[in-house]
């Protein structure tokens, strides 16, 4: 696997992870990273309010957020590393990469 392919894959994974996190937070009504568990009740946090949800949804949102915390920075790093590559012919002619 080339570096360009790896970087493109890292960017795609980071973007998909972020979109999944945003979609779950929007549909569930809050964020599990700032939520809490108390006496068998699970709460998501959104806009200064807590929303009670099922344990399954809370765990899904929490693990999705943990994954997002790892994969989104990976996508940003890959985007920074993905630099345009010039062929020797383009370098000799002074052409900019596409």
Q: What is the mean pLDDT of residues 11-31?
A: 90
Percent of the chain with pLDDT over 70: 87
pLDDT at 56 over 90: yes
SS3 34: strand
pLDDT at 1 over 70: yes
9's tokens: 């894959």
* Residues 82, 86, 88, 92, CA torsion sign: negative
CA–CA separation, 82 and 27 (whole Å): 33
pLDDT of residue 46: 86
Q: How many CA atoms lie within 13 A of 56 on its CB side?
A: 0
């Amino acid at each position: 696997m080339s570096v360009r392919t790896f970087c493109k894959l890292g960017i795609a994974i980071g973007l998909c992870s972020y979109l999944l996190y945003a979609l779950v937070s929007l549909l569930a009504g809050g964020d599990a990273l700032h939520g809490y568990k108390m006496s068998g009740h699970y709460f998501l946090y959104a806009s200064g309010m807590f929303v009670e949800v099922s344990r399954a949804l809370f765990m899904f949102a929490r693990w999705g957020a943990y994954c997002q915390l790892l994969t989104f920075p990976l996508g940003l790093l890959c985007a920074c590393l993905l630099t345009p590559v010039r062929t020797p012919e383009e370098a000799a002619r002074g052409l900019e990469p596409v």
